[in-house]
Amino acid sequence: MKNKQTFLSMLTVAMALGTAWAVRGKFGHEQGAAWAGAIGAISIVLVAKRGDWYNKVFKVALAAAVGWGLSGMISYGVVVGYGRGSDFVNVYYGLLMLFVIGVLYGFLGGGLFALALAESREFKVRWASLIAEMVALALLAYGLLINQLGWFMTPPRSELWAACLGASIALAWYILRHKQENVLRVAAWSALGAGIGFSFGNFLQVAGSGFSLPFNLWNIMEYSIGFFGGLGMAYGTLTSSWHLSDTVSDKRSNLVPILFLAVFIPFVLWDQSFVTEKLDFILELGGTAETIFSFQAISLVAIAFCAAILLTKFNRSHYDFSSVRSIFIIYLGVYTFLSFLLTGITVHPIEQYLYLINIAVILFILPSLRDNFVPTQEFPRKWTAAAVFSVLMIALLAIVAIHSHSELPGSQMRF
């Protein structure tokens, strides 16, 4: 029963982050990834059903938002094009580099989330020091790998993957020297999950293109990285043994995280996504400039409504399962609603119905989850074995991909 409960809990988180990441595909960039990452963190707090974690919900959500959002700066459009080729070397390179990019997403997102989760009176995270170390090593890694050695992953696009690699190394060193084994476990499994998800998602996208399936294949890839990244993050969390959090809840300490999550990230997303040129399709559907303005206004009102509710009703010193579930519904609901607006509402891609089905299934499963922690002993060699297996599996996927189609539109050549 306990293993079944753990599986259902992991599946719930995977569906939550998968849905949020699929929605993120409508927005892109750091702000979209940050919003999705926060939803993944809140879903873990929900399935864990630990009273001492409820009061951390906004803090861990902000940490996850920063972690998952950081890697949103990585350019992967050309890398996806490598996977659409017809020769093994380029296709394998593309899938393998997507695995690397996914690993960076997951390690930063899962690692910062778990650090916030592990913080207690005995272990205080020196966030300012950690951020300084991550920024410094990000600059050093970019300078060495890109400016000096010229190790380009995706020319001529941005090579900020190197900066995220440096930040990940700094985060790993911080975790290791503070002996936070649980945090490292969550970061490692989140990284492997997101890496596999990104690579496998590209494979599914390519296979679907070969069969000319009438579906948004980009959304399949986006859902895949979120689903497997969430699966890994949940697995690492639920198989670890966490000390009871003894930090005293303080209403004032939640204000800054709420402002970032409910005001800053949503407003940046609105500013970058609901610009007039991205809503020009409304004119093609018979709308007018006034229609575009109304869509912009409605989206801004939705964001303001979300912020107002979270700041007035949920800025408190104590939270329970019901309040965290409400936060989850509001935050994911507004995010999904904005994606409908950006598509035009009158247009109904099939994936949008799947978003709603996913959310309904999540809310149906949540009340039944309980007793889902299964602490297990684990060694780094298990992560190494999983990484090696992933690299070999990706090679097999590349072989299958090149035999499933001829060269596809949008393919790129790296070598």
Kindly report, residue by residue over 333-372, the tens digit of the pLDDT: 999 999 888 876 666 677 788 899 999 999 999 998 888 8
Choose the weakest-confidence range: 36-40, 136-140, 269-273, 407-411: 407-411
Q: Can you tell me the mean pLDDT for 109-123? A: 93
Provide, rounded to the nearest whole percent, the portion of the chain with pLDDT above 90. Answer: 62
| Residue 251 pLDDT class (50, 70, 90 cuts) | low
Is it the case that residue 405 has pLDDT exceeding 90? no
CA distance 38 to 62: 6
pLDDT of residue 97: 95
| Residue 276 pLDDT class (50, 70, 90 cuts) | low
| Residue 11 pLDDT class (50, 70, 90 cuts) | very high
Higher pLDDT, 83 or 348: 83
Is it the case that residue 397 has pLDDT exceeding 80? yes
Is it the case that residue 69 has pLDDT exceeding 90? yes
Which residue intervals of 240-343 are DSSP H helices?
Answer: 255-259, 265-273, 281-284, 289-312, 321-343
Are 397 and 199 spatial neighbours (Cβ–Cβ below 8 Å)?
Answer: yes
Mean pLDDT, the chain, rounded, equals 89
- CA 166 to each of CA 110, 143, 221, 341, 408: distance values in angstroms, whole numbers, following the listed order: 16, 10, 26, 37, 34
Contacts of residue 360, defined as CB under 8 A and 6 or more positions apart, other chains included, come to none
Are 47 and 71 spatial neighbours (Cβ–Cβ below 8 Å)?
Answer: no
The structural domains of the chain, with segments of one domain joined by +, span: 2-124+180-402
Contacts of residue 12, defined as CB under 8 A and 6 or more positions apart, other chains included, come to 43, 46, 47, 234, 362, 365, 366, 369
pLDDT of residue 247: 64
pLDDT of residue 393: 95
Q: Which of 338, 330, 321 is nearest to 359 (CA)?
A: 330
Are 415 and 93 spatial neighbours (Cβ–Cβ below 8 Å)?
Answer: yes
CA distance 214 to 353: 15
| Cis peptide preceding 367, ω within 30 of 0 | no
Is it the case that residue 280 has pLDDT exceeding 80? no
Higher pLDDT, 163 or 253: 163
Let me know the angle formed at the C-alpha of 390 by 384 and 396, rounded to the nearest 5 degrees: 145
pLDDT of residue 409: 76
Four-residue CA torsion sign, 229, 230, 235, 236: positive
- Supply the DSSP symbol for 124: -
Higher pLDDT, 51 or 146: 146
